[in-house]
Amino acid sequence: MDNPSGKSNSCTRRRFFRDSAVTLAGLALGTKLAAGAGPKPLLGAPGQEKAAQEKPPAAKPPEITTNVDEARKIARTPSSMPGRYPARVVKVETPGAFVDGKPDPAKVRDRLERGLAELTGERDMGQAWARFVGPGDVVGIKVNPIGEKLLSTKPEVVDVIIDGLRAAGVPDANIVIWDRRGFQLTEAGFTEARFPGIRILGTEKKGPNGEFFDAEDRLWSRDNIDREAMPYIASVEMAYDRETLPYMINEGRESFFTKTATRVCTKIINVPVLKNAGSTVTACLKNLSFGSLSNTARLHQLWMKAVAEPCAFPCLRDKVALNIVDGLQACWDGGPGANPQFIWDSNVLFLGTDPVAVDSVCHDWIVAERIRRGVQKADDPRMSEFLRIAEGLGLGTAAREKIKVTQA
């Protein structure tokens, strides 16, 4: 592949995986939506219409099946999604949270704590956080760093969360900031120097030799995925070359969950960024599913199902205690990558234990902004199909009339 930018191949590939997700998703979704709905052929020459009528219809591609029903057979727990506050969403407007393009830590803290108080009814932050975690928990803060410092979960938001966990008795040794790709965590500012005493875990990583492969030509990341826990299986495969495999870890029909979710964390605080992906949204569910799995490139072929279904597996369904959508800045187009011309200071946070309800409210927020900017004229119900799938899996409430939204 030509590299006209002059940047290193590793940087080019990293940006490819950061920015191409929406392209792959759009292609897959567009193909799915357009199936059977294309324009009719133009007929005119004698016999052409008859030949067209006699031509057998194209074979319908086989349905992509998954093992989500097997995951659903595993018993739920009292803390399983939709969590402690089903069908509830708290919206927190954060005017003035940015000064000269940077978050104002004091204002971020004030507004986020107000939102948590509104959700829990607790004014003391130690008591509020104790609704979700305890001193014996290992709490993973699942951030979204794919936009690097331009549009990722803000470290200032994570600062407030860490202080809240401490107030609830969780020691620093039991707090983890994590995501799928270690290098993106670093680029977004999630480093041990910035968060001393807090573990920073990425599933896909390079080793001490600075390479993805060790001296025996094995991936350093191979032991970071859990091959003993139930994987997400889908009847679709892709083959990866040597340069792509480190970002997928394995091929085949199985996507394995990261050990950070299956073995390390007992509770997860989900902190996605408010982004668009075409005329839909990527927030709580997408941050969890695609951020926790290996071998994801193939999953864009069943896009809507792959966003929702992995969240029905116990390591996510039973552990996500709270969702805090970072909408201090958001993108209304060009997402889920970070394109400066589409980013605006949206000055909002959304909180809730019900990820489906939160995503439903976020979807409406993004669509309204896209309509306001003339990118689309109306909402397309097909673009929120993943919410209805998630609702059908018992993960939360998608029906807007059943969701209670309050403002802090």
Inform me whether the pLDDT recorded for 32 exceeds 90. no
Residue 240, pLDDT above cutoff 70: yes
- What are the pLDDT digits (tens) for 366-393? 999 999 999 999 999 999 999 999 999 9
Give pLDDT tens digits for 160-184.
999 999 999 999 999 999 999 999 9
pTM of this structure: 0.88
| pLDDT given for residue 98 in this prediction | 73
What is the average pLDDT across 315-330? 97
Q: What is the dihedral of CA 274, 280, 282, 285, to 10 degrees?
A: 130
The 10s digit of each residue's pLDDT in 82-101 is 999 999 999 999 998 876 77
Rounded to an integer, what distance in angstroms lies between the CA atom of residue 59 and that of residue 6?
45
Per-residue pLDDT tens over the stretch 387-402: 999 999 999 999 999 9
Q: Is pLDDT of 50 > 80?
A: no
> Is residue 16 scored above 70 in pLDDT?
no
- Where do the DSSP E strands lie in 299-403? 320-327, 330-331, 343-344, 348-352
pLDDT band at 58, cuts 50/70/90? low
Contact between 73 and 314 (Cβ < 8 Å): no
Name the residue ranges covered by the structural domains of the chain. 68-407
Answer with the residue of higher pLDDT: 64 or 57. Answer: 64
Mean pLDDT (whole number) for 68-91: 98
CA–CA dist 326, 344 (Å, integer): 13
Looking at residue 303, its pLDDT comes to 85
| Domain spanning 68-407, CATH architecture | 3-Layer(aba) Sandwich (3.40)
Q: How confident is the model at residue 59 (pLDDT cuts 50, 70, 90)?
A: low
